[in-house]
Amino acid sequence: MQGKFLVLVFLWLKNLAAFADFQEVPLRDSTILLKEVVVVTAQRMALRGDAVAESVVTQNRDQLIRLSPLSTPDAMAAMPGVWMQKTNHGGGSPFIRGLTGYHTLLLMDGIRFNNSTFRSGPNQYLNTVDMFTLSRMEVLRGQGSVQYGSDGIGGVAQLFFRDPEFSGRDEKIVTGRLYANYVNHDMEYAGRAEVELATEKMAVLGGFSYKQFGDLHAGGDLGTLHKTGYDEQAWDIKFKSRIGRHLLTGAWQHAVQHDVPLYHQLANGSYSRYHFNPQQRDLGYLRLESFYDSKIFNTVRYTVAYLNSLEQREKQRSGSAILRNERDEIDTYHGAAEVISSITPHWKVSTGIEFYHDRIGSTTIVINQDTQAVTSARGLYPDGSHYLNGAVFSLHAFDWNRFHISLGARYNLVRLTVDDPVFGETSITPQSTVVNSGVVYKVNPRFDLIASANTGFRAPNINDVSSFGVADYRYEVPNYNLGPEKSFQYQVGLRMHTESFRAELYAYQNRLKDLIANVPAAHNGQDSLDGFRVYQKENVNEALIQGLEIEVAYQRSWLTAFVNTTYTHGQNITRDEPLSRIPPLFGRLGTDLEFRHGFTWRLEFMAAAKQDRLSSGDQADSRIATGGTPGWQVFNTRLQYAHQHFRINTGIQNIFDEAYRIHGSGVDGPGRNFFVSLLIEISSRKR
C-alpha cells in the first residue's frame, strides 16, 4: 500500500502543471488564517483564534458541504485530533485526547447534549444530530469543566446549527433548498428539503430530512455486513427576531431512527436481536440576547431549553425465548443567565449561572415468546430518578502587550436522587470547584508560544450509581457511594502563522484521579447473573494520558495542502496496564486544488498505526482483534462543481478497497464506494 501511495504522489507531482487553468480566486470560507477564525467554545464568548491559549479546531459550513459525510460522526472524524469510534453503523463516539463517552462533553448551540445516563464507554448519541442542519463544529481539546461543567475532562465538541439570516432593509427573501446524498452498494439514500424566509427583523428556517442507510459494504474480502442498516427521519425549525436592542432566537429539532442494530452483539452470536427501536432526540430552546452600551452589561443572554432523549432496546439472546423491551426516556430542563462584559478594550468577561434537571423514566417489559407471558421488571435505572446540576462561573480574557491571558473558575453542585424498588431510596450531592489558566505570548506577529493548565471533574451520574443489568459483557449492580472523578491537565504549544502558512503543535499531560471503574462484585451472594460476571463501579483508578498533536496547512489562491497527526499514550497507573481503548497514532494529509469555472478537486490520505497496547478489558472485548487492531491506510478523492444555484460533489472513498477497522469499533470501515451529493438553492427577493 505504501508503494501505491508513493506512485500516486509521484504521478500527481509530475502532472500538476497539466491540470491547467488554475484561477487566482480565494477558496471560500477558508480557515487557514488563524487570526481570521472566531471561536466561541474556548471561553463561551467570541474570540480570535490566535488569541486563545486553548487548543481548538473548527469545521465550517463550506467544509461540511465539500466532505459530503454520511453522518455527523463522519463529519467530525475529519477534524484534527478527533478519533471516531463506531460500535455500529448507526453510532459514533468521538475520542478527544484519549477519552470518550461521559468524559467528553457534547454541546448543541451552547446547550449540553450529555445527560445523566451517558455511559463511560463509546455511545451512539452524536449520530442523532442531522448533519444537514449544521453550520459549523468546534472541538476544544483537553478541557471544558470550567467553561461547561461536568464531563469535559477530555474535551468539548460543540455543534452549531444554521441560523436563518435577516434580509436587507425593506426586503423580503424566500429561499428554497434541496439536498441529496447517494452512496452506491445501497449504503445511503438521503435527502432534505428546506425553506428560509427572511425580512429585516424576522427570519425563519425549517426543513425535513430523510435518510435510509443500507447494510454497510466493507473493504477487501469482508463484503456486505448484514444487519447494519437502518432509517432516520428528522425535522427542525429555527427563527430569529430583532426587537429593538434585543435578539430572540428559538429552535425545535426532532430526529428519530428506527431499528438500529447493535452489530457486534449480533455478529458474534450472543444475540439474535439487539436493536435500538426507536432511538429519538428532541431539542427546543428560546434564547434572548440584549445588547447595551455598558462595559459591565455589554451583552446579557438568557436561555431556557427542553431536551428529550428516548432509547428503546429490543434484546433477545440467541437460543432464548425471552424478549426484553427496555425503555429509557430522559427529560432535561435547562436554564441559564450569562453576562458578557467588555470592562476595557483589553478585558472581556463571561459570567453566569446555569442549571440542568434530568428526570429519568426507565422501564422493562419481559415477553416469553413460548408462553406469551408478559411481565414488568426494573428498568436499567430506577424509574423516576432525578439529577440536578447547577453552577456559577466566571471566565476572563485579557490582552496585555504581547500576552493574551485567560483565567476562569466554576463552582458546580450536583444532587442525585433515586428511589430504587430493589435497593431503596438514596441521595448524594457531589460538588467541585475547578479553575483554568492559559497564556499566549506573541514572540512576533508570526510566532506564538502557548501554555495552559486546568483542573477538571466529572460528577457520578445516574448510569454510574444505579445501573442494574447487562452492559456489554458484564452484569452491573448499583453503588450509591461514588464521588467525583478529577483531572489536572497542562499543555504547552507553539503556533506559526503567515498569510499562506499555519502550523500548530501541542504537547499535553492529563493526570486522572478517582476514576470510576468496574470491579468484580456479588449480588445476593452470587458472582454471576444470567450468565454474566457481576461488577460494581467504584472510585479506584488513577491514570495518566499524554500526547502530541500536530497540524500544518499551506494555502495559495488555488491550492491548499494540509497534514495533521495525533499521538496518544494512556496508562492505568493503578492496574499497571494500558488505559482502555486508547487510539493509535493516526492522521491525514491532503490537497485541495481550485480550478476555473467552479471546480475543486481533493486528494486525501488517512492512516492509523497498529494498536497493540491493550488493557485487560480490551483483550476481552470481541470488537478488538487478538493481538490488537491492525494499522491501515485509506485514500479518498473528491471533485466539486459549484454554480450560483447548485453544487455537485462526487468522489470515491477507500480507492484501494482497504479492509480496516477503527480501533475499538464494533463494525468495519466502508470499502471502496462511489458517492454523489447535490445542493440546489433558489431565492426570490421582493421589496
pLDDT tops 90 at residue 503: yes
Asked if residue 553 lies in contact with residue 565, where contact means CB atoms within 8 angstroms, the answer is: no
**286: CB partners within 8 A, 6+ apart:** 248, 249, 250, 303, 304, 305
CA contacts within 13 A on the Cβ side of 666: 24
pLDDT tops 50 at residue 15: no
d(CA 430, CA 467): 18
Higher pLDDT, 557 or 449: 449
Tens-digit pLDDT profile for residues 105-161: 999 999 999 999 998 888 889 999 999 999 999 999 998 999 999 999 999 999 999
Which helix (H) or strand (E) segment holds residue 253: the answer is strand 246-258
pLDDT tops 50 at residue 14: no
pLDDT tops 90 at residue 29: no
Range in 6-15, 295-304, 404-413 the model is least confident about? 6-15
pLDDT value of position 300: 96
Percentage, residues of the chain above pLDDT 90: 74
- CA geometry: angle at 165 spanning 189 and 600, to 5°? 50
- CA geometry: angle at 320 spanning 314 and 323, to 5°? 25
Higher pLDDT, 6 or 440: 440
Sorting pLDDT into bands at 50, 70 and 90, what band is 26? very low
**Domains observed in the chain:** 2-686 (2.40.170.20)
Cα dihedral angle (224, 313, 132, 332), rounded to 10 degrees? Answer: -160
122 is written with which cell numbers? 463509546
d(CA 240, CA 251): 9
Which of 88, 105, 112 lies closest to 276 in space, CA to CA?
88
Tens-digit pLDDT profile for residues 235-256: 999 999 999 999 999 999 999 9
pTM of the model: 0.91
If you average pLDDT over residues 390-401, what whole number do you get? 96
Amino acid letter for position 75: A
**17: CB partners within 8 A, 6+ apart:** none
Higher pLDDT, 240 or 531: 240
If you average pLDDT over residues 3-21, what whole number do you get? 38
416 is written with which cell numbers? 442525585
The sign of the dihedral angle between the CA atoms of 96, 98, 100, 104 is negative
**251: CB partners within 8 A, 6+ apart:** 109, 161, 236, 237, 238, 239, 283, 284, 285
pLDDT tops 80 at residue 624: yes
- Mean model confidence pLDDT for the chain: 90
Sorting pLDDT into bands at 50, 70 and 90, what band is 475? confident
- For the chain, the C-alpha Rg in angstroms (whole number) is 25
pLDDT tops 70 at residue 32: no
pLDDT value of position 30: 42
Specify the length of the chain in residues: 687
d(CA 56, CA 140): 5
Range in 158-172, 440-454, 516-530, 607-621 the model is least confident about? 516-530
If you average pLDDT over residues 9-26, what whole number do you get? 36
First-to-last alpha carbon distance for the chain, in angstroms, is 60
pLDDT value of position 671: 95
Tens-digit pLDDT profile for residues 593-611: 998 888 999 999 999 999 9
Sorting pLDDT into bands at 50, 70 and 90, what band is 356? very high
Asked if residue 327 lies in contact with residue 363, where contact means CB atoms within 8 angstroms, the answer is: yes
278: preceding bond cis by omega (within 30 degrees): yes
pLDDT value of position 685: 85
Higher pLDDT, 551 or 122: 551
**20: CB partners within 8 A, 6+ apart:** none
Cell match 487557514: residue?
32
d(CA 599, CA 242): 38
Asked if residue 591 lies in contact with residue 561, where contact means CB atoms within 8 angstroms, the answer is: yes
Amino acid letter for position 113: F
- CA geometry: angle at 278 spanning 621 and 233, to 5°? 115
d(CA 663, CA 631): 9
Strongest mean pLDDT among 49-58, 61-70, 410-419: 410-419
If you average pLDDT over residues 357-366, what whole number do you get? 96
d(CA 211, CA 222): 24
**510: CB partners within 8 A, 6+ apart:** 97, 98, 142, 153, 154, 487, 488, 489, 544, 545, 546
**In sequence order, which ranges of 103-187 are alpha helices (DSSP H)?**
145-148
d(CA 588, CA 632): 12
